[in-house]
Amino acid sequence: MRWKEQLLTLTPYQPGKSIESVKRQYHLDKIVKLASNENPFGCSDKALAVLENSASLALYPDGYATLLREELAAFLDVAENELIFGNGSDNLIQMISRALLHPNASTIMADHTFSQYKHNAVIEGAIIKEVPTINGEHDLEGMLAAIDEQTNLIWVCSPNNPTGTYISEQKLTSFLDKVPEHILVVLDEAYYEYVVAEDYYDSISLTRKYQNLIVLRTFSKIYGLAALRIGYGVACPAIIQALEPAREPFNVNVLGQLAAASALADQEFVERCKEKNRQGLAQFYDFCHKNSLSYYPSQTNFILIDFKVDADQVFQFLLKRGFIVRSGIALGFPTSLRITIGSFEQNEGVLTALEEFLTKNK
């Protein structure tokens, strides 16, 4: 068969190991998964309650996501035609890439950022320009310098995955002021709800000022609805209208729409999770300071820690003890682990195991 040549060079996205596979492999009864930046506290009871009386599964979902669209538009104070929905924000990344990238177009991104930007660009045969990060942060000036006549699309991930770093309002607006209006800037804010930095920006208001900006968010992280796959984009109506033909029909499932709309109404749950996450990060910061380990201060629900040894060595040590984390090798940080912030007890457990590793490898 005559497959696209670029597909032959790609490997599928590699998710973290599943709980059941680790149980079987290491004959363990209890597993703590801290690999995929999921919410250890689950989701809102309001989201669970609405699923008990969900619509018939024999019917297609509402392709316009009417209820969710209305609720989200009111919550964000935007117009309904400023929203687009996806089967997770991954689906939106795919849609945007399909709409703007081709072999004669270039796209710009950081070299250490979410892998699906590059993955989809490769599939579309686009020219890829990766700009090295500086101390784990986007080099926005370097990204501006990479713009040429072929540039159609720029990816900005803030807070960034896998480093957890963010971009300040002053730096972001200065950058957006200089990007040509015909180039779409994607601001991926999957971890937006976890941010506590005082100089963070109001991205929704920026979509009114910059007509070439789209903001991506998700219900998979702090809302705890990863299994239902609901992501959304916010942009001016012209961008949304141009993207809609690239969206699959019925791409957002019925249960996800219902749960997401209900989850929005429980901001107390969101705030509790945010506070518990900051407390969990403090546990990891204390551990790093105690053991003189380098890390990036995080505005997310994960932390990237440099152990100064082969990351897979630490990863396997934890795996045998029932802790699934993410090796930094595939993320471009070969001596680091990316660890999701769990509950207090989960954090204590993995940190105790890491202390054991460090003691054995002095």
β-bridge pairing 323-324 and 32-33:
parallel
pLDDT in tens, 275-296: 999 999 999 999 999 999 999 9
Q: Which of 40, 306, 13, 301 is nearest to 159 (CA)?
A: 301
> Confidence class of residue 9 from pLDDT cuts 50, 70 and 90?
confident
> Confidence class of residue 11 from pLDDT cuts 50, 70 and 90?
confident
> How confident is the model over 260-266, as a mean pLDDT?
97
Distance CA 130, CA 117 (A): 10
AA identity, residue 222: I
Token couple for 51:
């699923």
191 contacts 221 by C-beta, under 8 angstroms = yes
Least confident interval from 17-21, 161-165, 278-282: 17-21
pLDDT at res. 52: 82
> Confidence class of residue 152 from pLDDT cuts 50, 70 and 90?
very high
Token couple for 285:
């910061």
* Domains of the chain, first to last: 5-43+268-360 (3.90.1150.10), 45-266 (3.40.640.10)
Distance CA 213, CA 217 (A): 13
358 contacts 291 by C-beta, under 8 angstroms = yes
> How confident is the model over 266-274, as a mean pLDDT?
98
Measured distance between the N- and C-terminal CA atoms of the chain, rounded to whole angstroms: 53
Average pLDDT over all residues of the chain: 95
pLDDT at res. 55: 66
CA distances from 109 to 4, 137, 182 (A): 23, 12, 17
In the predicted structure, residue 314 carries a pLDDT above the cut 80: yes
Q: Which of 38, 40, 39 is nearest to 15 (CA)?
A: 38
In the predicted structure, residue 15 carries a pLDDT above the cut 80: no
pLDDT in tens, 178-219: 999 999 999 999 999 999 999 999 999 999 999 999 999 999
In the predicted structure, residue 71 carries a pLDDT above the cut 70: yes
CA distances from 187 to 91, 127, 158, 167, 353 (A): 15, 20, 7, 11, 36
> How confident is the model over 49-57, as a mean pLDDT?
80
In the predicted structure, residue 260 carries a pLDDT above the cut 70: yes
361 contacts 335 by C-beta, under 8 angstroms = no
Beta strands in 115-262 (DSSP E): 127-131, 151-157, 184-188, 213-218, 231-235
> Confidence class of residue 42 from pLDDT cuts 50, 70 and 90?
very high
What percent of the chain is predicted at pLDDT more than 90? 88
- Residue with tokens 């299994």, as numbered in its chain: 227
> Confidence class of residue 58 from pLDDT cuts 50, 70 and 90?
confident
Q: CA triplet 196, 285, 273: central angle to 5 degrees?
A: 45
In the predicted structure, residue 124 carries a pLDDT above the cut 90: yes
Q: Which of 297, 236, 226, 225 is nearest to 261 (CA)?
A: 225
149 contacts 105 by C-beta, under 8 angstroms = no
- pTM for the model stands at 0.95
